[in-house]
Structure 1
Amino acid sequence: MDDLTLDEAMEDLESAEDFLNYFGIAFDQKVVHVNRLHILQRFHNYIGKAGALPDDEGARRAAYAALLARAYEDFVQSDALTEKVFKVFHMHEPQTAFVPLTSIGVVKREPAPAEAHEHGAGGCGCGGQGMCHSVEGALRS
């Protein structure tokens, strides 16, 4: 990769280990094994936040190396759950939702005509004398 430009080399790099080796960053394989995708995503995020990088290839290489080292160190000092690089880690955080009081109400359901015929005139087959005992039970609960 020594004969490739920085951009060409960056296109050929695939794993977190490839990136760390290319930029000469010493790393603990255990940390990388557990956090490889998180490190690469954090590196990508840092590049996006860095704004305009130098046009000079040597200066840009140094900037990339510093950003990658920073991304790696984030996971040496912390862990994926704490760092929350990916959206999936934010899905179970408390969400705020506003429900206006005017949208809360009780909807009374009228029995369908088929239900009234199915249970007889009183609703449960009791003959409809006074209030049906099944309705009384429902009102108490």
Structure 2
Amino acid sequence: MTCSADSRSIDVIEILARLRRLSAAEEFFAVLGVSYDPKVLNVSRLHVMKRMGQYLANEDLSGLPDRVIAARAKATLKRAYEDFAIASPLTHRVFKVLKDHDPAKASTPGRAFVAFDSVMNRFERK
């Protein structure tokens, strides 16, 4: 199942102000007219929105017409969604907590990871 919105035109008037007032990921997809699979969004919604914000932060939108801003916002949302539609959030590690606990990275001295199971084993043996 997909939620399709790509074919309809979007209202571009004051698009940045309107995007700032949104809270649910689905609202961003609806306002920008981007299709999505609810299954993908249910798993990766925060990651998609964070990545979209990262992509938009690299855009210089000052002084651009609303239609251009809307097109760029739509493109960044599509790009962010596609990142997580093809790979898991663990692959991209958008959030600091995931970056800090990358199993491929050596642990920081003095902050070694202790598996929960190893702690529980101490209590179960007694």
> TM-score, normalised on structure 1?
0.62
**SS of equivalent to 1:13:** coil
> Hey, what's the Cα distance between the residues in 2 that align with 1:76 and 1:23?
18
**Runs ≥4 in structure 1, deviation > 6 angstroms?**
none
> Hey, what's the Cα distance between the residues in 1 that align with 2:41 and 2:31?
15
**SS of equivalent to 1:19:** helix
The aligned counterpart of 2:58 is 49
The amino acid across from 1:39 in the alignment is V
Contact 2:12–2:67 (Cα < 8 Å) also in 1: no
In structure 1, which of residues 46, 67, 89 is the aligned counterpart of residue 98 of structure 2?
89
> Hey, what's the Cα distance between the residues in 2 that align with 1:72 and 1:7?
19
> Hey, what's the Cα distance between the residues in 2 that align with 1:74 and 1:3?
25
> Hey, what's the Cα distance between the residues in 2 that align with 1:49 and 1:60?
13
Task: Structure 2: give runs of 5+ residues left out of the alignment.
Answer: 1-9, 110-126
Work out whether 1:13 is the aligned partner of 2:25: no
Q: How many correspondences in the alignment?
A: 96
Q: Identity over the aligned pairs, expressed in percent?
A: 34
Shift of 1:67: 0.4
Task: Structure 1: give runs of 5+ residues left out of the alignment.
Answer: 98-141
> Hey, what's the Cα distance between the residues in 2 that align with 1:81 and 1:96?
20
> Hey, what's the Cα distance between the residues in 1 that align with 2:106 and 2:16?
41
Shift of 1:29: 0.3
Work out whether 1:61 is the aligned partner of 2:73: no
Q: Which has the higher contact order (CA 8 A, sep 6+)?
A: 2
> Hey, what's the Cα distance between the residues in 2 that align with 1:2 and 1:60?
12
Q: Mark the structure with the bigger radius of gyration.
A: 1
Cα pair distance change 1:74/1:56, threshold 3 Å: same
> Hey, what's the Cα distance between the residues in 2 that align with 1:49 and 1:15?
22
Cα RMSD, aligned residues only: 2.1
